Every structure is written in C-alpha cells, then in structure tokens.
Amino acid sequence: MPAADPPVTDAAPDEGAPPRPSPPPPPPRPLSLASALPFWFYLAAAVSLLALLLPHILPPSSPAPLPPLLRGHLAAGRVLKLDPAPGLFAVTSLPADSGGGGGGGSPAHRVLVLPGLAAGSLSFRRVLSSLSSRGVHATALDLPGQGLSPRPPAAPAPAPSRTSALREIMDRGIFHAFEHLVQTGEVPYQEEAPPAAAPRSPHAPDEAAAAVARAAEALGLGVAPVHLVLHDTALAAGAAFASAHPGAVRSVTLVDAAASLPAFPAAVFDVPVLGRLVLRVPALFRGLLRLCCARGVGAEEAEAYRAAMRGEGKAEGVVEAWKAMNHSFRLGEWRGSSEEVRRLPMLVLWSGSWSDMWIDEGKKVAAALPDAKFVYHSGGRWPQVDAFEEISGLITEFVTSSEEAAGGQIE
C-alpha cells in the first residue's frame, strides 16, 4: 500500500528568492446616487425628529430677557401710531452741533434709511450714529412687519359668495326649491356673485410706501426733501415712495439693493420644523447670518437679531414680506418712469467682495442706471454691519454734494 502524501505546509522561502508580490487591493466601489440618498434621508429624518422632540426634551422656560443691544435700541426709538395702521418703528440720530436742525449751526441734511428684509433699523444703528457725528440728521424706519415694527393686522377674509343653483340642487335636492317657494315666496336659486377682490397685502410696495409717507409726516420730515437710502429689498417700497412723492426726495442711495434677491434666507423660516430649530439654537442663527448677510456679525449682535425675530409674529412677518416681494420690478423702467425720477441724483453702493455672482448682479444694476454713481465697498450684503464707517462716509459725501448741486439750503 503506498504511503500517504505528506501534508502540504508552507515551506520557508529561500533566503535568496525574491518576495512574492501581494495581490492588488480590490478596486473601490463607485459612489452612486442610490447609495448616497439613504444618508441624506436619514440625516433629514434625524434633524426633523430632533426639532419635533426638542420642545419636549427641554423644560419650558419663562421668556428670556431682551439682549442689552436690542433693549437699548428699543429705548432709542419709538413705534409711530399711524392712521390707518400699521404702525412703524423709527429711530433718529440727531447731529450734536445743530440740535436737530434748529440750533445755531447750519441746518442738517436729512437722511431717511429703509432697511431690507429682516435687517431692521437695529442693523443701521452704527450708521445712524456715524452719520449724525458728520452733521447729518439720520432716521431709520422699519417697514411694516419688519425689524421692530408691529406685525400688520390680518386682512379680513373675503365674504362668502352665494351658492350657485347647480350646487344648491346637488346639496339639497330638486324639491328644495318648491318648499322654499311655498314658505318664503322667493326662489332660492341665485346666480353666484363675482368673487370679491383680494385684499392688498400691507407688504406690497405701494402699501409700504404709503405707510412710509405717513411715518415721514409724523416724524416731521416733510418740511424739506430727504435723502433716501434703500437697502436690500426695501428698493421696491422706496422706489414707490419716490414715485408717489417726488418732491419729498432729494436723492436716492442704493445699498446692495435688489427688489427680489434678499440677503436674508427667509425661505428657511417658511419650513416650520427647520425655521423653529434655527430660531431656537443661537449658533445656527448666527451661522445663517454669517453665511448669507455679513461675515463679520458678532455673537452679541446676532443674538439681538434672533431675539427680535422671536417676537410674536415676527418670523411670520418676515416670511409674508418675502412672499409679497415684487419680482416684476425693473430698475431701469422705474428710473425712466417720470421726469422727476430721472432727475434724482443716485448713488449705488455695492459689495465688491461677497461673491462673483453678486458682483455680476451689481453690473446689471450699473447697466440699468448708467447715470448713477457706482462705488464698490468692502463689506458684505449687510455692509451696515461690517463696513458702517465706510458706508456712512460715502453717504455723507454724496448727500453733501447733492445739496451743493441743488443749491440746497434746508428750509
């Protein structure tokens, strides 16, 4: 019987033999869309679940006190009671040497600032202070539902229209007409009335402009033309104000102004779960401001904006104003809409460091306003936050030159 073969063992390699090459690693699997989708799905589900459970996990707390920055700004301004509503919040910084235009010095030039979406007069507080230190009478006015202005009252629901004959027959039966005729002597079937016109939104440009006009009169700014400063989405309302009251405006300055391209991402707050989460977590809100509005915004200032937006109906007001933006507004068409508007001196201040896309948008504005003075600044979409000295200096220089060109002595 033949002997069994010895077991195969790994023989020790010869000392002089070259080492065997290791097998190549398997090729990496390509990342497909199908394999990436579950990750994003689970991430979105986790964020949504966290936002839903957050109010139940954290104990209920009493309303937090207002941040000192916001409290001081509230004390410096006031809400103007206007008829008709809504009221608007206004804050004014007076030049020290002129006593508000009535002292022994030369009369102060009057500047009226309309802040953009969610920015509010709070973001312009340092611009106002800087302007007043340069001898300018500066006022910032929060548009309806924006900043610290109260939320406009809800528009009344349209009256229900009469039911059509066909609908009433389908709902009540064909014999209902005979019974109604016997009981009342009237035929119940009435033709449906035409639908009532939808109520105008208080955030619409012409409605906001009318509120600005009432506020300017309440502030006593109607005694002389004002130099209008329009920031971000306040462009449409400010343009409507200048068109309706051309004699009340001396010049127009646009600060990164676009009628339908807001810096503040209001769409985030139109998503209930996500909006509540961002408003609840200070770091998220601050990161959103730095990403979209101003990279230099500090924690204290961001907390003041967050506290302002957490007020009753404030976030909803921002979303309503965002939805009511005039997407059909054309800057060039407005500039040529009347002889009074064409004669207005105009200055455009635009961020030259925010993004290439925003710089391209500025070039479109410059092309629409070929006779306007165009200047790039070093700040972001909210330059009143991170370049306020630069902005106030440019505004003061332009306002002074406009008054000199008009032979402007303030009445």
Percentage, residues of the chain above pLDDT 70: 70
Model confidence at 23, pLDDT cuts 50, 70, 90, reads low
Q: What is the mean pLDDT of residues 106-116?
A: 87
Q: What is the mean pLDDT of the chain?
A: 82
Highest mean pLDDT among 16-30, 86-100, 213-227 belongs to 213-227
Distance CA 200, CA 185 (A): 40
Quick one: pLDDT at residue 223?
76
Give mean pLDDT, residues 131-153.
92
- pLDDT-based confidence at residue 77 (cuts at 50, 70, 90): very high
The phi, psi pair for 337, rounded to 5°, reads: -75, -25
> Is 70-95+108-150+201-405 a domain of CATH 3.40.50.1820?
yes
Closest CA to 116 of 216, 317, 259: 259
The pLDDT score that the predictor gives to residue 151 is 83
**SS3 call for 91:** strand
The H-assigned helical ranges of 253-355 are 272-280, 282-292, 299-309, 314-323, 331-335, 339-342
Q: Which of 34-43, 55-64, 149-158, 228-237 has the highest mean pLDDT?
A: 228-237
92 three-class SS: strand
Spans of all domains in the chain? 70-95+108-150+201-405
For residue 243, CA distances in Å to 205, 216, 219 come to 11, 15, 20
**Max Cα distance, the chain (Å):** 132
Q: Which residues contact 40 (CB under 8 A, 6 or more apart)?
A: none
Where b means 16+ CB within 10 Å and e means fewer, 183-222 reads eeeeebbeeeeeeeeeeebbbbbebbbbbbbbbbebbebe
Taking the C-alpha atoms of residue 152 and residue 171, their distance in angstroms, rounded to an integer, is: 39
H helical segments located in 371-410? 383-386, 388-405
pLDDT of 292: 96
Region of poorest pLDDT, from 16-20, 98-102, 358-362: 98-102
Under the banding of pLDDT at 50, 70 and 90, the label for residue 404 is confident
Does the pLDDT at position 167 exceed 50? Answer: yes
Q: Per the structure block, which two tokens stand in for 239? A: 């343009």
Using one digit for the tens of pLDDT, what is the confidence trace for 367-381? Answer: 999 999 999 999 999
| DSSP category for residue 325 | -
By the 10 Å C-beta count (0-12 exposed, 13-18 middle, 19+ buried), 165 is classed as middle
* pLDDT at residue number 366: 96
pLDDT value, residue 100: 44
pLDDT in the model for residue 245: 94
pLDDT tens-place string over residues 78-107: 998 887 767 899 999 999 765 444 444 456
